[in-house]
Structure 1
Amino acid sequence: MPVFLQKRFAFLFLFVLASSPGAAQFEHWLNKKHAERYSDMRNFIDHNVNHIDTVTTNESIAKIRSQAARAGDDELLLEADYIHIAMLTSVPGMKPGKVINELNALITKADQQENQQMQIRARVQLAHVYWYFTKNYEKAFELFFDIHKRLAHISGKELPEKAVILTRIGESYYFFANYKSAITFSREALKAEVIFEHLGVHNIAMNTIGLSYIKEGMLDSADFYFQKIIENVKLGDYNVWKGIAQGDLGHTAYLRGNYEKALPLLLSSVNQAKLIGDFEQAAGSMTRISDIYFRQKRFADAAVAMKDAQGLISRTNPPKKSEQLYQVFAKVNAAQGNFDLTNTYLDSANQLHDKLAKEFNSIQMLRASERSKLQEHRATLESIAAEQQIKTLERNILFILIILLIVLALYFYKTYYYQVREKQRRSEDQLKRAEQELNFATQQLEEFTRSISEKNQLVEELTARYGMSANDQAVAELQKITILTDEQWEYFRRLFDKIHVGYLSRLREKLPGLTPAETRFMALAKLNLGYKEMASTLGISVQSVRVIRHRIRKKLNLPEESNLNDVVGSI
């Protein structure tokens, strides 16, 4: 890149890195967006960066922090940290490690506060430190990747430095001969809005695109962008771009062999470059002029141009030898018959070529080494992260299993608890129903026996009072009412079984040969009914009841002195 472009770009890029206001205007900075105070910041760049007074700058930073803290302006507090770091970056002999640590701390704060513009600007400054101070190009490119992603979510109005940053990324790719990427990022810079102070940024981007097209051998495309620079020339400082663009157009004409067109453009470029002190650009154009004179066999003019080019090179800082100039010296001396000098200059040209190639290869190898170390470091971090993830996963799985076991235990306990409670409730309900049924059966049997007793008493009273006999119709009808029919017996048996559970079953097991009448006798005897009550219940005579009792005693082989009621009670 020509010296003028480096100076102009350095000035613009340095503003991206360092901007701090005078104390008198700090109040106007409070609670404003970055873009709103950007122009005011720019007015103090030269004083705070190019004429560094660390004591004064630190005092200004302290005032900014104090006012920002009182106003609750978190973004301005970040700006104070940013300015402090930019000051450290500009101090001769600064320690890159300290600046890198402070920048990482600022990036962390910006990320925590989700301050988009500071997230980008702090990373840009960190890339600047890696690139220029530690020569760690790979880390700088890694930051460029991150910055580029973030730039997609912010406009040039919100971040006035957007075009400057994209142009810087394009320049970085040009430095490493990645011309396609240089063109891509520089084109993005052309799409970004710029404020008045940054009008030259688009010219830098177009110049990078044009130079990249020259390297790619696409001269027409290069001319298109160089011509656009001339069309974009404005009044004031940016007028110098006309000379730069003319030099570039002269270069492409020279490469085409159109020397008549190239000469006036290159001469104009030399004059303009001298005016702005860009002696490297002037030397390059003058070298091409000397080669054109040689090709036109204007050897005297070529010799003068060579000396002028040599003088311009001596004024560059630091002086940069020109491989092409050595080649022109060799050709001119060969044409004049000075073969010793010809060989000397050719040797110098070859040596310079090998030196430049070696330097570039060293930078490429350094970047490759940094990339390898970075990949190894990243792989180590990924391995550690993977191990941590595995441990975390194992811990989470164990935790989940414990929780699952607790949940299952609670579930089974709750299920068992509810089952026990349900079983208990059912048992209680069954017991309650059994008790109710038992009470009901008892009441029914009591009512049954009471009814029989009352009816028997009524029969006896009628017989005694009115002299009625058992053959009388009224007495006969009354006795029929107390007879226990087969259907009633079934109902009676169910009630009896509820009160005297299993009695009839045990009776059939002990006395399997009992007749139905005998079974009913034993049931009524269990209820302590007398012979008359049994006779009324069974619809037979008292004598018949005695006969049944006799048959039962006989089947049981009971002696006369034994009481049948004992047998009834023992079953």
Structure 2
Amino acid sequence: MKNVRLAFLFILFFNSLIYSQSQKNHDEFKNKVKANSKLFTSDINKAYSELNSLIKASRILKDSLSEMQLLEKKCRYFYNKNLVDSLIISSEELHKASDKYKNVYYEAMANVYIAETYSVNKLYDKAIIHLNNAYSILKQDQSDSKKIFYAKANVLSSFANVYLDKGEPRNAAKKILEEIKSGKQIKEKSEFEEFQYLNYSNLSSIYAEYNLDSAFYFAKKSIEIRPTGISEEKSMISNFTVIGKYYKKRKEYEKSIINFHKALKISRRTGIELNINDTYKSLHEIYRETGRKDSADFYENKIKQNDLQMLQSKYNSLQEVMNKDEEEQNKKLTLNFFILGISILIVLAISVFFYVRLKKKKVVENNQNLHDLYQHLIALLQNNDPGFMFAFENAFPEFSDKLLKINPELQQSEIEFCALLKLKLTTKEIAKYTFIETRTVQNKKYRIRKKLEIPQSVDIYNWIDNI
């Protein structure tokens, strides 16, 4: 009898150890999901790289809420990157999971993302059907929770996106104004300001289609009420882009360039590329108008590369859309294949056209030596062009990070000075282009040597060139 009791106690102890370890694993996983959500606001690319392993872990742990949350983030990533082909696949994945777990919120969000893919492919009626589905699903929830409130706000924003795609910006503005009005339900001041900060930014983007004065007003208002502590993300990209367009229309080009580069800086840091081509096109037009050919050519190439990527993504998404319709409407099988075939021919023809042009351009670019690149950057510096550092970082994308790994306390001005050394500019040339004394340049070289611990016996130019 005593042995039986001991065995029973051992089993209890063993089970408690297993439960304790399982709970510990689950808590660690929850912390990882939470950290990933925070990372999404600062570096969307890095956050995305963690998603697949986290989704796999959520399924092993049978954590359905975390699984749907992570699948929704996957949709958000593809939406922000303009990758509609991947968005339709991930939104269908979210739709299946939400249906399996009977979750109203994520089922509605899946419909919202599916609607976005239809809208991009000019299937506006289907997009509106999915948005109406999303709103009907949310109305089933009687909890009056904040999550459902914000989901309904997302549906209104998506309605606005569809109207924008249809070329009906005034109807789009009405939807955002409806969303702004709904914010009266929010009682907490900081939460209310964050909600309206996003709405004013969205409204500003819509007004930019037909009333730049109103667009400028709401972009400024969005920035003014932006809560402290909130990460810079697509709303600030949108605000700076609208302000850049406003100054461009007034031919205040330097102010316009500054704001466009602020938008690009945030885009580069966060990885958000939604509507980035608008900014590239505006900068290309400004530089062409002001006779800065090198900068105009630079952004023309960026536009072509982005167009080619978008074209391929839309082509792939069109295939997914048609496959989905084929499953839903067997009676229209022949018509669907006909449309798909015509679409493929058109898209392939356009793709080949852009590919050939891009390939020719790349052959020319590959034949240019390092001297040509340096001369381009020096020309920007001579013209006191605000785009100099942006162009330099595009040419040497790892340069700043490598310097900061050596000394994290380096200031931005010191990194920019190192960029001049990378271009092998002499002391006199640096003094001339930056409007400072040669003695000041020599002092800066001395401080850089100390901060980066470059021995006196080593040539500073050779050392910087190896970064």
Shorter-chain TM-score tier: 0.3 to 0.5
The structure, 1 or 2, with the larger RCO (C-alpha pairs under 8 Å, 6+ apart) is 2
Higher Cα radius of gyration = 1
State the TM-score, normalized to the length of structure 1: 0.39
